[in-house]
């Protein structure tokens, strides 16, 4: 098997363009780094276009050894496997210490429609709207939490951080593969989707510190939408216009607000608690 040893190889240079939003949009591709994410990909029967691996680095952990054996045993087509040097895998990745494997995927594999088609049918009351969220770590953590809480879908407004930013993809830990996610959704389209999701009684909760209505006083068993605003500037005027009520998390000891990802988790898991309590 031929090994790509130089980061200057034209093939590698093209892949490095995918580190930028412009490069991802231009090629319609993105990189997924690490054995855990590749295992998630294979477990969900989503075929990567290519897998770049460095056997020594990948084999340093038990998880990596299992994945390496899986790759070499035919989990990915042989022509899609590309062995590379340590220098190349480090150039392709963005983490400080490479785990030895990076997969190449089309953005279309994680499109709203594709993921919704793969997802089992179920009753999912929560629709999550993220309004100009700026921090990649926050967005990735929220996506992971939304999947764990079985949210119906996540809608990102214009101005949100790129959902396929490598930091978002790592923090989401595979959520892109299983959670319907739509980017750059305008407020007219968001309003249409909210109406479709909620039906006759439109309920849109805007999370906002200091709001008089507390989150645990709301009925979260029936379909609702939840808006989380920008970390620094809060919700936009359009978000306020769509909201039917603002809700807050009670805070003590002079704490003004919570991290966006933590607040989202608290709110979504109150919905999970109510739904499980009502079904028991």
Residue that finishes a domain, picked among 93, 110, 127: 110
For residues 230 and 117, state if they share a domain: yes
Half-sphere exposure of 133 (CA within 13 A, CB side): 28
For residues 100 and 123, state if they share a domain: no
Measured between alpha carbons, how far is 153 from 205 in angstroms, rounded to an integer? 15
For residues 162 and 103, state if they share a domain: no
Which residues span the domain enclosing 247?
Answer: 112-279
Measured between alpha carbons, how far is 171 from 272 in angstroms, rounded to an integer? 22
Half-sphere exposure of 61 (CA within 13 A, CB side): 12
CATH number for position 125: 3.40.1280.10
Provide the b/e sequence for 117-134 (b: ≥16 CB within 10 Å). Answer: eeeeeeebbbbbbbbbbe
Provide the b/e sequence for 207-220 (b: ≥16 CB within 10 Å). Answer: bbeebeeebeebeb
pLDDT single digits (tens) 165-217: 999 999 999 999 999 999 999 999 999 999 999 998 999 999 999 999 999 99
Per DSSP bridges, beta strands 126-130 and 153-156 are parallel
pLDDT single digits (tens) 223-277: 999 999 999 999 999 999 999 999 999 999 999 999 999 999 999 999 999 999 9
Query: What percent of the chain clears pLDDT 70, i.e. is strictly above it?
Result: 100
Give the mean pLDDT of 152-161.
98
- On average, the pLDDT of the chain sits at 96
CATH number for position 93: 3.30.1330.30
For residues 166 and 92, state if they share a domain: no
Task: Please indicate, yes or no, whether the overall pTM of this predicted structure exceeds 0.85.
Answer: yes
Q: Total structural domains in the chain?
A: 2
- Give one DSSP letter per residue of 228-278, joined into a string: E-BTTTB--HHHHHH-SEEEE----TT-----HHHHHHHHHHHHHHHHHHH
Measured between alpha carbons, how far is 169 from 163 in angstroms, rounded to an integer? 7
Read off the tokens for 215.
């989150």
Residue that finishes a domain, picked among 110, 138, 172: 110
Partners of residue 213 on adjacent β-strands: 247
């Amino acid at each position: 098997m031929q090994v790509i040893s130089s980061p200057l190889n034209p093939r590698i240079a093209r892949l490095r363009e995918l580190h930028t939003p412009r490069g991802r949009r231009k090629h319609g591709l993105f990189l997924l780094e690490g054995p855990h994410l590749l295992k998630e990909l294979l477990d969900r029967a989503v075929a990567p276009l290519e897998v770049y691996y460095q056997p020594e680095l990948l084999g340093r952990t038990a998880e990596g050894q299992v994945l390496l054996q899986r790759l070499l045993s035919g989990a990915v087509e042989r022509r899609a496997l590309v062995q590379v040097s340590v220098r190349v895998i480090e150039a392709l990745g963005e983490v400080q210490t490479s785990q030895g494997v990076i997969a190449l995927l089309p953005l279309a594999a994680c499109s709203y429609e594709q993921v919704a088609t793969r997802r089992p049918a179920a009753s999912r009351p929560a629709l999550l709207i993220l309004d100009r969220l700026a921090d990649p770590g926050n967005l990735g953590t929220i996506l992971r939490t939304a999947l764990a809480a079985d949210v119906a879908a996540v809608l990102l407004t214009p101005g949100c951080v790129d959902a396929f930013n490598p930091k978002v993809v790592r923090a989401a830990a595979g959520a892109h593969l299983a959670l319907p996610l739509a980017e750059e959704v305008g407020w007219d389209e968001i309003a249409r989707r909210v109406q479709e999701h909620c039906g006759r009684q439109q309920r849109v909760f805007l999370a906002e510190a200091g709001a008089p209505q507390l989150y645990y006083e709301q009925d979260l068993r029936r379909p609702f939408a939840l808006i989380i605003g920008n970390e620094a500037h809060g919700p936009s005027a359009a978000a306020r216009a769509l909201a039917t009520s603002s809700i807050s998390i009670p805070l003590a000891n002079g704490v003004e607000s919570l991290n966006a990802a933590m607040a989202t988790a608290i709110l979504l898991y109150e919905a999970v608690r109510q739904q499980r309590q009502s079904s028991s």
